[in-house]
Structure 1
Amino acid sequence: MATLGLALGAALALVGFVIAFFLWRRKGAAHGLRALSWALVPLAAGLLGLMHSVIVFVNSLFTIVATMVFNPIVWAGTALAGLAVLLYFVSGFMKARGMGVKQRGAKGSSGGGGTPEAGGAAAPTQVSGGQSASGAGAGSSGGGDDMDFGDIEALLKKRGIE
């Protein structure tokens, strides 16, 4: 059995030497030397007596694949594994774009009760015109825009930006 492994290793190395020769001529010495190093691996495995283990491994691999191809339960498992991978990547895509993610400030308007004021009321912020931010646009915008700015103000205060 050792001579079979050595003969197989030598045959694979010979094929690798031919490939390395053509790579050397076409792409240069660096590519040729890399291919030569890989071509020596089967010969070394044959000389070390490891080629028998490689033959058993490849035979086992082919047996497993051959039995899997004709088994419908294995195909169902493969489909489920593919679905799991697809769902994982879709969820990552959705998270990256903020789709289907609950906002942190959606629980309550106080932002978790972390405000230093009593009762969770927000202190008015000074705007450049000398009036407070909570009363800055109360009569001028018509009502619908105040809610949007209030949410933004709450978020900025939560982050410590005033």
Structure 2
Amino acid sequence: MLAETICSAVSAAGLGIAAITAYRKRFLAAARIAAYALVPVGLVMTGAVEWLAETAFSPVAWAGFGVLGLAWLLFMTTRAVERRRSGGTRGTRDEPSERRQGPRAAEPTASAPSLGAGDRPKGKPADDFSDIEAILKRHGI
């Protein structure tokens, strides 16, 4: 009974604020405020508030929430242990859980400069830009 009265008061106050907002010619904001204000009354009319009030003071309901929390905790713990055992990869039941290989580093021969031997400026070593070219090739540039 108290919860229904509070919800009705909140809705009435919200509708009053919506009316003031509409008076100031902010109709879109007023419609939004009215929509929010009607939610508590709708919850009272559907019986959801009464159900929530009964649930909040029920020891059986709180025990049920505790059991659900315990189930969630067990589920998350088993997932964490499973990930640790498999090395952090997710495998399905059909495929074995093997470590997936990441992108391989560029091989030293792949990082040779693209300029020909005769096109290189004199006085510079052959692999001045080999590090830069290796990075660009890894990114597909």
TM-score, structure 2 as length reference? 0.47
TM-score, structure 1 as length reference? 0.42
